Amino acid sequence: MAVDAFAGTGHIPRTGTLPLLAAGGCVLVGGIAVIAPAAALALVIGIGFLLVTFRSLPAGLGVFTLLIALDDIPALQSGVTFVKLAGGVLVAAWLAQVVLRRDDTQSLLRERPLLSAAAAGLVVWALASSLWADDQGVAISSALRLSQGVVLLFVVYSALREPKHVRWLLGAYVGGTLVAAAFALASFSGGDSGRLGGANTNPNELAAAILPAIMVCAFAFLGERRPIARWAISVGGSMLLLALLMTGSRGGLVGLAVALVAAVVAAGPGRLKIVAAALVIIGIGVVYYATYAPQDYVDRLAAVRNDGGTGRSDLWEIALVIADDRPVTGVGAGNFPVAEARYAAAEVDIARIDLVLDETKVVHNIYLSLLSELGVVGLAFFLCLVVGALASIVQALRRLRGSDWPFQLLVRGFLVGVVAIMVAYTFATAEYEKQLWLLLGAALALPALAERVAGAKRLPDSLARQ
């Protein structure tokens, strides 16, 4: 592994030095373990991740995807987290691959220049917004956060070179989402809001992240023939569905409703089975909210309380006023909370003044957030990426027609999941979420993968006649 990591650099360490380095490392780790066992364990895991990532970028990406769930655990969110360090290693491995193995590496810049320009334009425009932002420091830091997601998009595109890499990524995404859901369920106590995820992460963001995992599980179940795997997928999918319902997220339920419709449309030959699965999901949801859900959930989802969506409609109105006042530039990256009180006091008749003037909140809508902070220019760059990603999945499905039915089902579920999360993000400010850029990068990489898969396996006649 170490030799491969340095291949092509002209500085390959001699084989005889490797045992000495390994022995020295063991002594070092052993010494640290005596003083701080947790730090020693983290060091071992970190070294292992580094070796895996430099040996296989797709494998490292899969591990990183699984680790993203750790961001939802409060005890691991302070300071420089392991996830951030892992992200740095992942980017370093990607850069090394680009430099040392140029001919063998997919390049978003080379193969999708227009979408690469849109991604770069989004970051450059966000950085430029510091010139007119009220708080330049917030604008720069927000632009740098956004750039991390864009870099992840490029990394994912380069890493996914074979169908198995997509399976690794989606499997890790489902596994990571299960970790986040399991932690939220284990620590759930009702709290003040009574919503799952309230103390650990934003319930709307948790619900949005769960949606693609549910859709991948539903479609993967149809293509799986191994009984144990089918049982594991059904248990995992059921747990994710329960977690989604317990978030009490209106955005999550709207996304789920759209996903069920999209699933029926995108199911292809497996449409009857997807319709049956959709009816089961609807039935579970109805039973839960009619029998087991707290009345607070039911009232909230039915909008019985005249709370304006806990202030969300006020925030959306303020965002539209800002967009009308500064349609091209916006108020600067991350500057909506800085400017909202000024615009609300001057121009907006709001219902929940306490949530706008007494607190600083984000827009809770990814599209209005980008529009109000980066103007139509920033929103246009982002929408180019979203539309390009969805078009790429559709293009991949056309190329996969008649081949590798299980993989095709996985891609169909992925398409529905991306649609669902983009709908759910109308209730969340999520432009900095790693899951968003991970999914967009995978979507953009699919057409090239489908080209390699097409023709390898023909669709069974029995399925074609359904």
Of 105, 137, 172, the position where a domain reaches its end is 105
pLDDT for the residue 82: 74
Q: Is residue 326 part of a domain?
A: no
229-286 confidence digits (pLDDT tens): 899 999 999 999 999 998 888 889 999 999 999 999 998 888 898 999 899 999 998 8
318-334 confidence digits (pLDDT tens): 899 999 999 999 999 99
Residue written as token pair 């430029």 = 128
Rounded Cα gap, residues 5 and 93, in angstroms: 9
Report which residue type is found at 249.
Answer: S
pLDDT for the residue 42: 62
Rounded Cα gap, residues 90 and 324, in angstroms: 40
pLDDT for the residue 10: 40
Q: Other C-beta atoms within 10 Å of 416: how many?
A: 29
Q: Other C-beta atoms within 10 Å of 45: how many?
A: 14
Question: Do 10 and 158 belong to one domain?
Answer: no
pLDDT for the residue 302: 63
pLDDT for the residue 8: 42
Q: Is residue 15 part of a domain?
A: yes
Question: Do 224 and 142 belong to one domain?
Answer: yes
Using DSSP, state whether 201 is helix, strand or coil.
coil
Question: Do 166 and 101 belong to one domain?
Answer: no
Q: Is residue 257 part of a domain?
A: yes
Question: Do 78 and 168 belong to one domain?
Answer: no
Question: Do 139 and 98 belong to one domain?
Answer: no
Residue written as token pair 């030799």 = 3
pLDDT for the residue 18: 46
The DSSP annotation for 391-414 comes to HHHHHHHHHHTTS-HHHHHHHHHH
Domain range spanning residue 84? Answer: 1-105
Question: Do 120 and 66 belong to one domain?
Answer: no
Rounded Cα gap, residues 351 and 349, in angstroms: 7
* Six token digits for residue 183: 């932690």
* Torsion sign over Cα 110, 119, 86, 426: negative
Q: Is residue 354 part of a domain?
A: no
Alpha helices, DSSP H, located in 68-162: 82-100, 108-111, 113-128, 136-159
pLDDT per residue rounded down to tens, the chain (466 residues):
444 444 444 444 444 554 554 455 555 555 555 565 555 556 667 788 888 888 899 999 999 998 887 666 555 554 446 778 888 889 999 988 877 765 456 788 888 899 999 999 999 999 999 999 999 999 999 999 999 999 999 999 999 988 899 999 999 999 999 988 888 777 766 554 566 764 556 788 889 999 999 999 999 998 888 889 899 999 999 999 999 998 888 889 999 999 999 999 998 888 898 999 899 999 998 888 888 777 777 766 665 444 444 567 778 888 999 999 999 999 999 999 888 878 876 655 555 555 555 455 788 899 999 999 999 999 999 999 999 999 999 999 998 887 778 888 999 999 999 999 999 999 888 899 999 999 999 999 999 888 877 655 544 544 444 4
* Torsion sign over Cα 166, 205, 390, 212: positive
Is the distance from CB of 433 to CB of 366 less than 8 angstroms? no
Domain count, the chain: 2
Rounded Cα gap, residues 97 and 108, in angstroms: 14
Of 105, 133, 149, the position where a domain reaches its end is 105
Cα 408 to Cα 234, 258, 269: the distances in Å are: 19, 21, 11
Rounded Cα gap, residues 27 and 31, in angstroms: 6
Report which residue type is found at 316.
Answer: W
Cα 267 to Cα 56, 183, 410, 411: the distances in Å are: 33, 32, 10, 10
List all residues 6 or more positions away from 431 whose beta carbon is below 8 Å from its beta carbon.
146, 149, 366, 369, 370, 382
pLDDT for the residue 326: 93
Question: Do 30 and 135 belong to one domain?
Answer: no
Of 105, 129, 147, the position where a domain reaches its end is 105
